[in-house]
Amino acid sequence: MRYELSKLPLQDLLTPLCAATSALARVDERISRSSVGPGWLARTHFSEACASLWVDGELVQLEDLVLYDAGMSVRAPTHELTIAHDVLRTRRRIFSNPPEWAMSTEGLRCLRGRGGETDQSDNAAAMTHEHSSEEGDEDDPLAVHLAAIDALLARSEVLLAEARTSEPQLRRDRDPLVYEADWDEDERLAEWRSVVMETEGLPPLLRAALLLDAWNVLQVFQHAPWLGRQLTAALLRQIGATSAHLATINLGLKQIARERRASRDRDTRLKAFLDAITMAAEFGSKEHDRLLLAKQQMQHRAAGRRQSSKLPQLIELVLSTPMVSAGMIAEALCVTPQGALKIAAELSLRELTGRGRFRAWGVI
């Protein structure tokens, strides 16, 4: 299967392309210069992960994802929640690495969950060879025999490591109950990467729209359709369209009607993507203004406190996550649960649950 790049409706795409480009540039510039930029970025990772599942037809509560990420969930995670957490970790990993890492061969291997398997075996074998060579150079006969035994044990450890990692992975990839036998993900990924090369020179957002549409048409991965949207956001960061944040593509697509997102007409899908970028940028600007106002109000309440006060740390914690619980406050600020309740009351945070126990607070 080959993705067709000819006959692009440039005249029809020009207006939404310009609007999306300017909106994305404005929000990125505001985030790069804002005091709440890191908190805004951390919160959008959570919102984007939940929106990604929503676009794929699943529902994950934001509160459940926050508690699960903090390791304080009391219930067994659902399948959808684990996928949302994978999206969350993927976004964090992409942003923590250099801009070109995600689209590189090694980056794609790591994001697919296949990085480091063969490298670990090769490194272990190399260490075994070096160890046996160093020990074999000695003149002591006993040392030579001990070196041979050590080399044998090292080779056995390598074989056991391969049996624990590589072979189960291969069996899992070939399981017909989970994966289709004729679905060649490597071939489809190679075809998608060829589209990446062919679209060089196009405007950044037009290129991103084509790459995401190609990902959906080619259906690169059977069980990770969400990865294409994160790679598209990584590409926008790589080519300089964004520098201070990863584009929140899913938050924008969530506001687009499904009939437009999944239309049979490619021109309609491309326009829907550009409109989604514009809506996501506008939503991000409003969210930034809301967080900035909330920070000013909380700093006003914390004014005049002692230097040892925990309120400034609590302000940063509240701004960096959609919600906090007493356990999260106690762990982050190194206080008791009762102390966490008292600090939250002093800051006048909004209580989200309406309960008297197991409460949570946040900025609304």
What's the pLDDT at 306?
A: 81
Residues 351 and 272 in one domain: no
Domain for residue 10, yes or no?
no
pLDDT number for residue 340: 85
Cα 197 to Cα 329: distance, rounded to the nearest angstrom:
47
Same domain, 244 and 263: yes
**Contact present, 270 and 210 (Cβ < 8 Å):** yes
First and final C-alpha spacing in the chain: 47
Amino acid at 79: H
Let me know whether 58 and 182 are in one domain: yes
Q: Do 181 and 274 share a structural domain?
A: yes
Does residue 261 contact residue 255 with C-beta atoms inside 8 Å? no
Residues 355 and 311 in one domain: yes
Backbone angles phi, psi at 181, to 5 degrees: -65, -35
200 and 275, same domain (yes or no):
yes
Q: For 330-341, what is each residue's pLDDT tens digit?
A: 888 888 888 888
- What the block records as the tokens of 120 is 């670990």
Return the pLDDT at 164: 61
Distance of alpha carbon 291 from alpha carbon 320, whole angstroms: 10
Residues 81 and 214 in one domain: yes
Position 138 in a domain: yes
Residues 166 and 158: their CA atoms lie apart, in Å, by 11
Predicted pLDDT at 346: 83
Please check the confidence at residue 176 and state whether its pLDDT lies above 90.
no
Distance of CA 188 to the CA centre of its chain: 22
| Residue 165 placed within a domain | yes
Choose the final residue of a domain: 138, 158, 173: 173
Of residues 190 and 72, which shows the higher confidence score?
A: 190
Statement to judge: residues 249 and 311 lie in one domain? no
Instruction: Please report the pLDDT score of residue 115 as a whole number.
Output: 53
Q: What is the pLDDT of residue 184?
A: 79
Q: Which of 290, 319, 342 is where one domain is finished? A: 290
One domain, residues 329 and 242 = no
In a domain, 6, yes or no: no
Domain end (from 152, 173, 194): 173
In total, how many domains does the chain have? Answer: 3
Q: What is the DSSP string of 1-26?
A: ------S--HHHHHHHHHHHHHHHHH
More confident residue, 345 or 117: 345
Task: Say if CB 56 and CB 225 are below 8 A apart.
Answer: yes
Tell me, yes or no, whether 266 lies in a domain.
Answer: yes
pLDDT at 156: 84
- pLDDT of 179 reads 66
229, 147: one domain: no
Q: At what angle do helices 105-112 and 79-96 cross, to 10 degrees?
A: 160
Task: Select the more confidently predicted residue: 129 or 76.
Answer: 76
Residue type (1 letter), 74: V
- CATH number of the domain at 344, please: 1.10.10
**Residue 198 and residue 146 share a domain:** no
Mean pLDDT across the chain: 85
Bigger pLDDT: 279 vs 142: 279
Is 140 inside any structural domain? yes
Q: Where do we find the tokens 């046996």?
A: 132
Range of the domain at 223: 31-99+177-290
Residue 284 belongs to a domain: yes
Q: Summarize the confidence of residues 48-66 as an average pLDDT.
A: 93
Q: What is the dihedral of CA 332, 337, 339, 344, to 10 degrees?
A: 70
Q: Which residues contact 33 (CB under 8 A, 6 or more apart)?
A: none
Q: What is the pLDDT of residues 229-288, one digit of tens each?
A: 999 999 999 999 999 999 999 999 999 999 999 999 999 999 999 999 999 999 999 999
Q: Is the pLDDT of residue 173 over 60?
A: no
Share of the chain above pLDDT 90, in %: 49
**Taking 50 as the threshold, does the pLDDT of residue 25 lie above it?**
yes
Enumerate the H helices of 184-310 as residue ranges.
Answer: 185-198, 204-218, 227-238, 249-253, 258-261, 266-301
Q: Which SS3 state, helix, strand or coil, does residue 315 take?
A: helix
The pTM for the full model equals 0.79
Q: State whether 87 and 166 are in the same domain.
A: no
Determine, yes or no, domain membership for 105: no
Between 117 and 183, whose confidence is greater? 183
For the segment 31-55, what is each residue's pLDDT rounded down to a tens digit? 999 999 999 999 999 999 999 999 9
181 has a pLDDT exceeding 90: no
